Structure 1
Amino acid sequence: MLGTADAVTVGAAAMIGAGVFAVFAPAAEEAGSWLWVALVIAAAVAYCNATSSARLAARHPESGGTYVYGRERLGELWGYVAGWSFTVGKVASCAVMALTFGTYAAPEWSRPLAVAAVVGLTAVNYLGLRKSTGLARLLLAAVLAVLAAVVAVGLGGSEANPAQLAVSGRWPGSFGLLSAAGMLFFAFAGYARIATLGGEVREPETTIPRAIGIALAGVFVVYLLVAAAALTVLGREGLADSSAPLAETVVAAGWPQLVPVVVAGAALASLGALLALILGVSRTVAAMAADGHLPRYFAAVHERFGGPHRAEVAVGALVCLVVLAVDLRGAIGFSAFGVLAYYTITNASALRLGPQENRPPLLVPVFGLAGCVVLAFSLPLISVVAGAAVIAAGAGIWALRRALERRGSA
């Protein structure tokens, strides 16, 4: 059984991934010198979401996350919308991971490299190979070491300009600040992994909430330090214009020899997260197919390898299409919208918990729900329009299917 330290490690490993290598540039473009405030808002919303998820997981200890919580607490439609939002949001997240890998490894070949990564890791999942918890911990240690090196040369070098950290200058507007917070929220994704550990930890009622708080606080500090290093060296404009911000930070700090180390860290973070994401999304697709919400064709399990092979191939193909269709910043915005929609339903489901069901303090799901809605609709307009259209299309498919079922049974 896992203790608090183990649960914190698992949660931190799920959160610290490709996002930290990519998200600060578009966030700085939106928020400017108010980047710090946006980071605090994103962390607060993430905490509320994780707490609501943990309390719901204790009441519904089965796989599926908010797909299950929404169905049981709000009705079948909301469970379906949660599953649909998770799938489309995480498909875009997979594209972010792949594009981050390609951008750091070879910017001029970023898309071909990203597609190759998706194809290769889809094949790994197809064959039944899985990333172990031990490997996740090794990846976390390696990525943290890389981030520590970036922070050290950024904040400790002669090129550092602490004046860049001041929250001053042009007010980015409410939409600019909240749009940045929505993008930074993407970098905290993964905290829900702690909420799913109910059967694997000692005293889950106390261990899971404590681990969530510690993991989020730790990751928040890491992100603060990394953002500070990038800002002091590159400045707000330089960070906003960067395509590979952490690599450009070490170059500007006078340590170009560290670029291969940063590239290796980005590759480890991106590919490790991509492997886990393809695995998770394909299982959600297979579960929805088994329930009849998607074509049952995708629910099939491979006789030899034991995985939902058709769902895995379909997810891999969708990710490749997203990689070829959008850039990194567009994928971050679209992913954030889908995931925020998912957690909106999580918090709404938590509001339906009764006092005898270890309901969180009312402020937590209320702030989480309101925060998700506000951040989602403060994202760049193209992300909002595309995300809302895809989710609406999913709801329309559900309604059409139910209408056909009723007509067939009449």
Structure 2
Amino acid sequence: MTSHSSRPPTHINTDLDNVSVTSSVKSLTPKSKSRKLKSTSTTNKATRSSSMFSERSVGGASDTKHHGTASRSVSHSKPPLGSHLHSVHAKDEESVKVKGEGDAKSTKSKDGGGGGSSSDLKKSINQLQKEADQQLELEMETQMTLEHFLGQMISLKNAFAMLSDVVMHEVDAARSEARRRIDVSDNRVVQNQQTVDKVIHEFGSLSSRVDKIEEKQDAIIAELAALRTQGDQTATWLTTVSEQVSVVKEQVGETRQAQVKFDADTVKEVNELKRHWDNQSQTIVNRINECSAEVSKQRAELTVTGEQRMDDLELLEKALSTLQAQQVRLRSSVDEATIPLQTESKSLRSKTDQLDAAISSIKMDAVETRHQMEGIDRDQRLRFDNVSRVMKVFSEAMQVATPPSVNNGFKDV
């Protein structure tokens, strides 16, 4: 408002000065007329320069006003800029008033000479230059303040972006580690299933061998019908056979004890796993480490039990080989030897039934471990979904672009 209201008086004053100067020029002599023309030209130049400086100062004031509003829009905590702008506007108004008074004095003192008007114009020009310098300094200060604010905003944005990148890197690392350990556990379960299938196949072959042995026993019984006369010679041999049967019974008892111990260890492990899953309060990494340790422990136990059972199978094969050798000798025995051989076949059949029961228990253990791994997978998916929700809320609060892995919700885990 001050800039627009201060411009018209300057033009009016200059017009009045021109009119007064032309009227005074007409009434003077040629010499004084030339002097007055020179003074009027100098005064016109001075008034033009003063009007140009006043317009520049007014334009600078309007520019500072716009800068002040922009700085207020960026930061509301900088009131000294507004006070500086008001002081600049007041100085502009005072300069315009002083210039108007100087113009009036110059019109009054034209008859006496142009020395006083030129000195006043110089003073006003110097004052306007000082005010223009002050205005330029204020504009530079505001520009530096805005640049400082812009740099702070850029640094804050970079810091938030770096924080989001670090968090997403940690989440991706945890996800890849969990995926790797789950794959290892699945491979171990598959290997255990393959070993169980192999044991089942071996026991099938053993049962076929037992059937062949029974067929051979029937043939031997038919042959023993013709060898009843040699009973006295085989009495000593029967005593040795009874001792061997007692040895086989002891071996069967040892296998039973080993099976009972294995069942007790399995029950203990199941109880420990239940207690572990009831107290799920640890972090994802600790859970994965515990699960891997548990799987390795079970694998070691399965390998130990497999080795024990392979040893038992070797012992059974040795016993069967000895039985075959003895059955070759049974061709010279009597009908009384058929009774202990039948009992021997019954004991072997009961042993195969026990081994089938052990295989079924191993299958149940494998199924239970698979269910446990599925529970671990579900728990990890739930936790990764919670982490993705937290990251989305954090990104929305900080106005940072959400990474694609968080948008996917860790579906590939």
TM-score (norm 1): 0.21
Highest RCO, 1 vs 2 (Cα 8 Å, sep ≥ 6): 1
User: In proportion to residue count, which structure has more helix?
Assistant: 2
